[in-house]
Amino acid sequence: MKLTIYDIAEKAGVSPATVSRVINKKGNVGAATRKRVEDIIAEENYVPNATAQNLSNGSSHLLVFIVPDIENPFFGKILHGITERAEEMGYSVLLYGTDGDLDKEHQILHTLRTDMIEGVFISIAKDDDQVSIRALERLKSGGIPVVLVDRDIENTIFDGIFSDDQQGAYDAVQCLIKEGHRNIGIITGPEHSLPSKSRLTGYRMALEDENIPYRREYVVDGNFRIEESYRATEQLINLKIPPSAIFTCNNLSTLGCLHYLTSHGYTVGKDISLISFDEIPELTYGGVRLTSVDRPVVEMGYEAMNIMYRRLTENQGTTANTISWYDKIVQRSFVKTKIVLRGSEKLNPKESKDKKL
C-alpha cells in the first residue's frame, strides 16, 4: 500500500540510493536519471517516510512549547509568533499545556521524547522550581536548546525572550503619579514569577523616585488570575484609605479587578484610576478605554524562534560530542514596553460629563 523508496527505485529502474539522492538533492545524479525519478515520484504521489528519515539522519525538526495557560490570549499570540516562524523554517511545534500545575510540568518534562525533539520553548510555572530547572539543564546539556519564553529564571543562563517588565511597570506607576495619585494599589502576580517580581520592583522604584512611601497594604496578590484579582481588588477597596489608582500586573489581573470595580459601581477613569500591564483589545473595542502597558507579543514569539534557530544551526560543523554552543554566550532578548494612554489613568476628568463617551 504505502510506497517506499524501493518501489520508486524499481519503477525508475535505478537503485534506492539514487532515488535518495534526487530526493535530497545531494550527490551527483545524471540529468536524465534525475528527471525520470522525479517524474515517477510525482505521478506516484510518493512522499518519503519522515520517521525513517529521522531515524537515519537523526533529526526530526520537531520543537515543543510548554505553556502554562493555553487559553490566555497572551500565549495565543506567542504561539502564533512561534509557529509562524517555525513553519517558515521547516519546523513543527508540539504543544503541551501545564495549566500552571507543577506536577504536570514535571511530568511533561520527564516524558519528553527527547530523541525525537530538537528544541524546547517553555514558559515555566515557577521561577525557582528545582525539579523543572534540573530537567531543563539536563536537556540543555544533552544538546537540546532550551528557550525561556516571557518567564525568566533567576540566576540562570538559559536563552530566552523577555520584556522589560520593570521599566513597563515603572512607566505605568509614574504616569499615575503624574496624574496626582499618591495612594496607588498594585495587584501582583504569583510570588514565584520573575515577571511579576520585576513589575513590583518597577512599582517600588517609581514610588521611591517620587518620594512616595511604599505601603505594604497597597500590595495585594492576584496570582495572575481573574478570580483572585477580584478578591485582591475587594481588599484594596475596603482599606481605611483605599487607593485612588490601581496598577494591575497582567491581563487577567486587570479583568478580575475591572470585574470588581464595574460590578460595584465604580467607573474607571472617573471614580478610580487603573493602568493595566498588557493590552486587552476586547475592552478597547467595547468602549472600555484602559491605559495599558503594551508590548509586541507576537514578535516575542518570532524572536523566540529566531533564538532557537540559531542554536539549532550553530552546531552544524561540530562532531556529536562537542557541544560547542553550550559554552557560547547566552542569547537573551528583551522587548521594550510602551504605555498607551486612554484616559483610565485620570480621575474624574471633566469630559466624562459632557461627552457621550
Residue with cell 470595580: 261
Tell me the closest approach of the beta carbon of residue 70 to DNA, in angstroms.
30
Rounded to whole angstroms, the maximal C-alpha distance in the chain is 89
Q: Which does 83 bind (CB under 5 to 8 A by kind): a copy of itself, DNA, none?
A: a copy of itself
Cα–Cα distance, 252 to 256 (Å, whole number): 6
Least distance (Å) between residue 141 CB and a copy of itself: 10
- Phi/psi for 351 (5° steps) reads -55, -30
Residue 213 binds which entry of DNA, a copy of itself, none, CB below 5-8 Å type-dependent: none
The site that binds a copy of itself (CB under 8 A) totals a number of residues, namely: 60
Distance CA 93, CA 188 (A): 31
User: If contact means CB under 5 to 8 A according to the sort of partner, which of a copy of itself, DNA, none does residue 313 touch?
Assistant: none
Touching a copy of itself, residues 1-20 (CB under 8 A): 1-2
Site mask for DNA (CB under 7 A), range 52-91, x = bound: xx-xxxx---------------------------------
Among 34-42, 80-88, 180-188, 199-207, the segment contacting a copy of itself (CB under 8 A): 80-88
Taking the complex as a whole, the smallest distance from the CB of residue 60 to DNA amounts, in Å, to: 12
Per residue, the 3-state secondary structure of 137-199, as one string, reads HHHHHCCCCEEEECCCCCCCCCEEEEECHHHHHHHHHHHHHHCCCCCEEEEECCCCCHHHHHH
CB 220 within 8 A of CB 185: yes
As a whole number of angstroms, the distance between CA 160 and CA 244 comes to 37
Which range in 106-114, 169-177, 198-206, 329-337 contacts a copy of itself by CB under 8 A?
106-114
Query: Per-residue string for binding with DNA, 109-138, x by CB under 7 A?
Result: ------x-----------------------
Asked if 331 interacts with DNA (CB under 7 A), we say no
CB of residue 54 to DNA, shortest distance in Å? 8
Of the candidates 152, 118, 154, the residue with the CA atom closest to the CA atom of residue 311: 118
Q: What is the DSSP string of 263-320?
A: HTT--BTTTBEEEEES--HHHHHTT---EEEE--HHHHHHHHHHHHHHHHHHTTTS-T
Q: Are 205 and 170 in contact (CB under 8 A)?
A: yes
Q: Which of 43, 130, 240, 285 binds a copy of itself (CB under 8 A)?
A: 285
Closer residue to DNA in complex, CB, 16/343: 16
SS3 203: helix
Q: Is 343 in the site for a copy of itself (CB under 8 A)?
A: no
Contact 140, 184 (CB under 8 A): no
Q: Would you say 16 and 41 are in contact if contact means Cβ atoms under 8 Å apart? A: no
Query: Looking at 6, 103, 154, 157, which residue binds DNA (CB under 7 A)?
Result: 6
How many Cβ atoms sit within 10 Å of the Cβ of residue 150? 26
Near DNA in 13-32, by CB under 7 A:
13-18, 20-21, 23-24, 26-30, 32
Q: Which of 87, 154, 208, 217 binds a copy of itself (CB under 8 A)?
A: 87
* Alpha-carbon separation of residue 225 from 156, 203, 250 (angstroms): 27, 19, 9
Candidate list 8, 108, 308, 339; residue touching a copy of itself; CB under 8 A: 108
116, 92 in Cβ contact below 8 A?
no
Does 317 participate in binding a copy of itself (rule CB under 8 A)? Answer: no
Q: Does 318 bind DNA (CB under 7 A)?
A: no
Count of residues binding DNA (CB under 7 A)?
A: 31
Site string for DNA, 30-49 (x = CB under 7 A): x-xxx-------------xx
Task: List interacting residues with DNA (CB under 7 A).
Answer: 2, 4-6, 13-18, 20-21, 23-24, 26-30, 32-34, 48-49, 52-53, 55-58, 115
